[in-house]
Structures are given as structure tokens and as C-alpha cells.
């Protein structure tokens, strides 16, 4: 880590204060403050398998942040990328703080629509990737409802529906939004940005809310988005959390949310039951 702080000092400013940010799952995130009060964020790709894919992930994030600069989407601004040693991305600091409470759904839905309206011109991001490939379609050992999962796998065995592609965040959820009061002041974590169906971003945010606060909160967000959910993309997103959604529950607990592994699993299945109809 010290070598990356020295690198940040060379390309930006010597950090006088370094603080680890909580809530990250794929990376170590450091808040840097210089003597003059300027702040930045340093992403270190320390965890596998993301570290193995860091060149693509970090260069994509930097490129997307440059594209979004000056747009209505409050994304950080890329400052520098270093792929030697521990891969790192230095970016500007965004004001605000995450809200994992039952945050207002209308601003979150409006911001997602703003992202989907963004036109990258000829420099479109890559086509989206499914996080529910056939290898993941295995009934989890913790479930008591195997038929529910088999029904989900049957949906995904059919051809994907046609769609009109838009600019996707691809990992849009409360954990990647910063708030000042009830206003969104930052949208972070652009490593998975893709081109694909808007309903996939809606599905991902909705599943996250379902696990965090229950299906009613998720349905409020989906309604605020103003478009009907597409069953195929919603099922794909739920299956993407296999083999176990507890991987996201621990960061929530670290952030002070009281949620058990059992609750996260139960709510994921309740979400799946809802989208299967």
C-alpha cells in the first residue's frame, strides 16, 4: 500500500491523512486528504478475482468517468491509473455519504434514468455480461425451496428478449450512491459499465433493495422507475447472487445495518418468487 501512496503523491499531492472507506466488496478504497485540504479517493484492486481483471476494470472506469465529466451524472473524475503492482485508480472525491436506510426512491430512480439517457457517442462501453452463466445455475445448498430455483433456471434457459441498448451503470444500487440530505451528490463504482437493456439496471437495484429492506421497498423503487420489470432480466439478476447472497450482507453489517445471513437469503427468495409471478 505504501508504494501506491507514494505514487499518489507523485501524480496528485502527498496525502497527509489516509482513511479506509467501508462498504466496498471488490476493492480496498482509501480516502486521501492533502495538506491543502484537497481530497481524492484511491481504489486498490486487492481482491480476487477482480484483481486478475483489473486492467480492463480500471481502464474502463477511468474512461467512463472521463466521458461523464460535465454531464448531469455526478461521477468522480479520473486522475490517474497505475496497473503495476497492486492495480490502482486515483479519482476525485465526491461529497456526500452512502445511505443504506430506506432512502427516497424517487431521486434514485431519476438518477438511473439520467444515466440511461447519457449518449457516449461512438465510444460505447462493452456489451453487458450476464452474472448468471450456466455454471451458476445450481440449486443452493441453503435453500428449502429447490423448485423455486429450478423455475428460475428454466426462465434463463430460454433466449433473452430483444432490447434497445442504453448506457448502463451495471452495478447501480444504494451502496454506490452518495447523498446530501435527500439529494444524490455522487454515483460511484463504474468498473462494470456496459451497453444493454435498461431493465437490467432496474433489476439489479431492485434486487439489492429487496435483500436490504424487503420486497415492498424494492417494488416502490421499480414503480418509481416508471417501466414494467422484464421477467428475464430480473430473474437473471437474482440468480447472479448465487451461490450465496451473504457476500453482500457482510458489508452491510460493517456499515451498521442489522441483517443476518438467513434474512438476506430469505429476502432473495422472496424477490425471486415475486418476479417469477
Whole-structure pTM value: 0.94
pLDDT at 12 over 90: yes
- Considering only residues 248 and 238, tell me which one the structure prediction assigns the higher pLDDT: 238
Structure confidence at residue 102 (pLDDT): 72
Cell numbers for 277, please give them: 409471478
Distance CA 198, CA 70 (A): 22
Mean pLDDT for 72-91 is 97
- Considering only residues 258 and 197, tell me which one the structure prediction assigns the higher pLDDT: 197
SS3 75: coil
Distance CA 16, CA 165 (A): 44
Contact 206, 221 (CB under 8 A): yes
Structure confidence at residue 228 (pLDDT): 83
What residue has cell string 463504474? 190
Which residues lie below 8 Å from residue 225, measured CB to CB, with a gap of 6+? 109, 112, 113, 202
SS3 210: helix
| Residue 37 CB coordination number (10 Å) | 7
Whole-angstrom CA distances from 98 to 39, 143, 173, 175, 195 are 17, 31, 10, 6, 26
| Residue 57 CB coordination number (10 Å) | 22
Structure confidence at residue 81 (pLDDT): 98
pLDDT at 13 over 90: yes
Pinpoint the alpha helices (H) of the chain. Answer: 2-11, 54-68, 105-117, 146-157, 198-213, 215-225, 231-239, 246-254, 261-276
Structure confidence at residue 104 (pLDDT): 86
Mean pLDDT for 169-197 is 97
**Domain ranges in the chain?**
2-92, 105-276
Q: Average pLDDT of the chain?
A: 95
Q: Which of 122, 123, 58, 127 is nearest to 86 (CA)?
A: 58
Whole-angstrom CA distances from 17 to 3, 5, 35, 101, 139 are 15, 11, 8, 29, 46
Mean pLDDT for 224-249 is 94
% of the chain surpassing 90 pLDDT: 89
Q: Can you give the C-alpha Rg of the chain in angstroms?
A: 19
CATH superfamily of 105-276: Aminoglycoside phosphotransferase (APH), C-terminal lobe (3.90.1200.10)
Could you say which DSSP state residue 127 is in? B
Cell numbers for 64, please give them: 467512463
Structure confidence at residue 22 (pLDDT): 81
Distance CA 242, CA 252 (A): 18
Question: In the CATH hierarchy, which fold is given to the domain comprising 2-92?
Answer: Phosphorylase Kinase; domain 1 (3.30.200)
Give the model confidence (pLDDT) of 136-155 as tens digits.
999 999 999 999 999 999 99
Structure confidence at residue 26 (pLDDT): 83
Cell numbers for 128, please give them: 453487458
Give the model confidence (pLDDT) of 90-106 as tens digits.
999 999 999 998 778 99
Cell numbers for 155, please give them: 426462465
Structure confidence at residue 251 (pLDDT): 85
Structure confidence at residue 254 (pLDDT): 84
| Residue 171 CB coordination number (10 Å) | 21
Structure confidence at residue 67 (pLDDT): 97
Give the model confidence (pLDDT) of 15-67 as tens digits.
999 999 987 778 999 999 999 999 999 999 998 898 999 999 999 999 999 99
Amino acid at each position: 500500500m505504501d508504494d501506491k501512496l507514494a505514487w499518489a503523491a507523485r501524480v496528485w499531492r502527498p496525502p497527509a491523512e489516509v482513511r479506509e472507506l467501508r462498504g466496498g466488496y471488490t476493492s480496498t478504497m482509501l480516502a486521501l486528504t492533502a495538506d491543502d485540504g484537497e481530497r481524492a479517493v484511491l481504489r486498490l484492486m486487492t481482491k480476487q478475482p477482480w484483481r486478475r481483471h483489473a486492467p480492463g476494470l480500471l481502464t474502463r472506469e477511468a474512461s467512463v468517468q472521463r466521458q461523464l465529466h460535465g454531464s448531469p451524472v455526478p461521477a468522480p473524475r479520473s486522475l490517474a491509473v497505475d496497473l503495476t503492482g497492486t492495480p490502482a485508480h486515483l479519482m476525485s472525491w465526491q461529497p456526500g455519504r452512502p445511505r443504506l436506510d430506506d432512502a427516497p426512491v424517487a431521486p434514485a430512480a431519476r438518477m438511473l434514468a439520467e444515466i440511461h439517457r447519457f449518449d457516449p457517442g461512438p465510444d460505447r462501453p462493452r456489451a453487458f455480461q450476464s452474472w448468471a452463466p450456466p455454471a451458476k445455475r445450481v440449486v443452493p445448498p441453503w435453500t428449502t425451496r429447490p423448485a423455486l430455483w429450478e423455475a428460475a433456471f428454466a426462465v434463463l434457459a430460454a433466449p433473452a428478449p430483444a432490447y434497445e441498448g442504453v448506457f448502463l451503470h451495471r452495478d447501480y444500487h444504494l451502496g454506490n450512491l452518495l447523498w446530501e440530505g435527500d439529494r444524490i451528490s455522487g454515483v460511484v463504482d463504474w468498473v462494470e459499465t456496459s451497453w444493454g437493456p435498461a431493465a437490467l439496471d432496474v433489476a439489479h437495484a431492485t434486487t439489492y433493495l429487496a435483500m436490504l429492506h424487503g420486497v415492498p421497498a424494492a417494488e416502490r423503487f421499480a414503480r418509481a422507475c416508471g417501466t414494467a420489470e422484464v421477467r428475464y432480466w430480473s430473474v437473471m439478476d437474482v440468480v447472479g447472487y448465487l451461490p450465496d447472497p451473504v457476500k453482500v450482507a457482510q458489508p452491510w453489517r460493517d456499515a451498521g445495518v442489522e441483517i443476518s445471513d438467513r434474512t438476506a437469503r430469505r429476502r432473495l427468495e422472496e424477490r425471486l418468487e415475486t418476479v417469477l409471478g
